[in-house]
Amino acid sequence: MYNTLFNFSDDLFSELEQWQRQLVGRNIVSNIRPVARGSFPAINLGSTPSSVEVYAFVPGVEAKSLDIQIDKNLLTLQGERTLALPKEDNKLTVYAQERFSGKFKRVITLPDDVDVSKVNASYKDGVLHISIQRREEAQPKRIEIQ
């Protein structure tokens, strides 16, 4: 009787289920250095046959205040972001303060074949991009047949 009224829900639920599967399915295996959701800064990693690419989303941080260190295959990114928040008084009200303020540190495990002497770092639009070359012997080579 109410079929037409509730028909849409079929699609809605299957859609929700699909979303959920995509969200949950992303990281099934946990890292030994887990990070809480929403940790600062957020990090994306990429890989090419010749390099490892690290993108750290650090908006509003002075590039020179960032400390990047690589020890064996651990990359450590440290820094501090101090937000100069005005003092609240009867003329000023702070309604939202969602932005991170303080010291931060993130540790990333790199693949074993990186060459720590070949690192490039740049900062643009609030994103720190670190590119680390892989060791040459580890790179895939095409072998010509004579």
Partner 1 sequence: MTEATHQAVAPNTPELATLRPLVTIVEEESGFTLTAELPGVPKENVRVQVENNVLTLEGEIRLQTPEQMKSTHAEIGSAKYKRAFTLSRELDSTKIEASQRDGVLTLHIPKAEHAQPRKIEVQIG
* Burial environment of residue 77 by CB neighbours within 10 A (0 to 12, 13 to 18, 19 or more): buried
Stretch in the footprint of partner 1 (CB under 8 A) among 1-9, 72-80, 97-105, 134-142: 97-105
At a CB cut-off of 8 Å and minimum separation 6, what does 115 contact?
132, 133, 134, 135, 136
Q: How far apart are CA 41 and CA 3, in angstroms?
A: 49
Cis amide prior to 140 (ω within 30 degrees): no
127 binds partner 1 (CB under 8 A): yes
60 binds partner 1 (CB under 8 A): yes
Please, are residues 132 and 106 in contact by the beta-carbon 8 Å criterion? no
Looking at 14, 46, 67, 76, which residue binds partner 1 (CB under 8 A)? Answer: 46
Question: Closest distance between partner 1 and the C-beta of residue 59, in Å?
Answer: 3
Residue 18 parent element (H or E)? helix 3-24
87 binds partner 1 (CB under 8 A): no
Question: Closest distance between partner 1 and the C-beta of residue 146, in Å?
Answer: 28
Question: Closest distance between partner 1 and the C-beta of residue 25, in Å?
Answer: 11
> Residues binding partner 1: what is the number (CB under 8 A)?
42
The dihedrals phi and psi of 114, each to the nearest 5 degrees, come to -80, 150
Cβ proximity to partner 1: between 4 and 37 the closer is 37
Residue numbers at the binding site for partner 1 (CB under 8 A): 19, 22, 35, 39, 41-49, 51, 53, 55, 57-61, 83, 85-86, 91-100, 122-127, 129, 131
